[in-house]
Amino acid sequence: MTEPPPPVEPTPRTLEIRFTGSGSEYFRIWAVNLLLILLTCGLYLPFAKMRRIRYVYANTLIDGEPLAFHGDAWKMFRGFALLAVLLVTCTVAREFSPAVALPAFVMLCVVWPALWRAAMQFRVGNTSWRGLRMGFEGSLAGAYLAHLPVYIPMGLLMVLVPDGQGPGSDPGANGRFWFYVSVTVFCAMTPWSIALLKRYQHRGYRIAGERGEIVLPMYPVYVIALKTLALGLVMLLTVIVVVLPIADLLVRDAGFKGLGRYRGLIGVGVSCLLCVGGLPAYYASRLQDLVWGNTRSATLRFRSTVIGLPVLSLTNWVRTILTLGLYRPFAVMATMRLRLQSVRIYTTTEPSTWTATRAGLHTDAAGDVAGDFFGVDMGL
Give 187 or 175, the one with higher predicted confidence.
187
State percent of the chain over pLDDT 90.
Answer: 48
Q: What is the pLDDT of residue 377?
A: 42
Please say whether the beta carbons of 125 and 359 come within 8 A.
Answer: yes
Query: 3 pLDDT band (50/70/90 cuts)?
Result: low
Q: What is the pLDDT of residue 242?
A: 75
The whole-number average pLDDT for the span 331-344 is 95
Of 276-280, 332-336, 372-376, highest mean pLDDT: 332-336
pLDDT in tens, 224-272: 999 999 998 888 888 777 777 776 776 665 555 555 566 666 667 777 7
pLDDT in tens, 27-70: 999 999 999 999 998 889 989 999 999 999 999 999 999 999 99
Q: What is the pLDDT of residue 6?
A: 61
Q: What is the pTM of this model?
A: 0.84
Q: Which amino acid is at 137?
A: E
3-state secondary structure of 128: strand
Query: Which are the contacts of 125, defined by CB distance < 8 A and separation ≥ 6?
Result: 133, 134, 135, 136, 359, 360, 361, 362
Q: What is the pLDDT of residue 141?
A: 93
Q: What is the pLDDT of residue 81?
A: 82
pLDDT in tens, 86-128: 777 777 766 666 666 667 777 778 888 988 898 889 889 999 9
d(CA 186, CA 107): 20
Q: Give me the phi and psi of 273, to 5 degrees please.
A: -65, -45
Q: What is the pLDDT of residue 172?
A: 46
pLDDT in tens, 339-358: 999 999 999 998 888 887 66
The whole-number average pLDDT for the span 139-165 is 80
Q: What is the pLDDT of residue 253?
A: 59
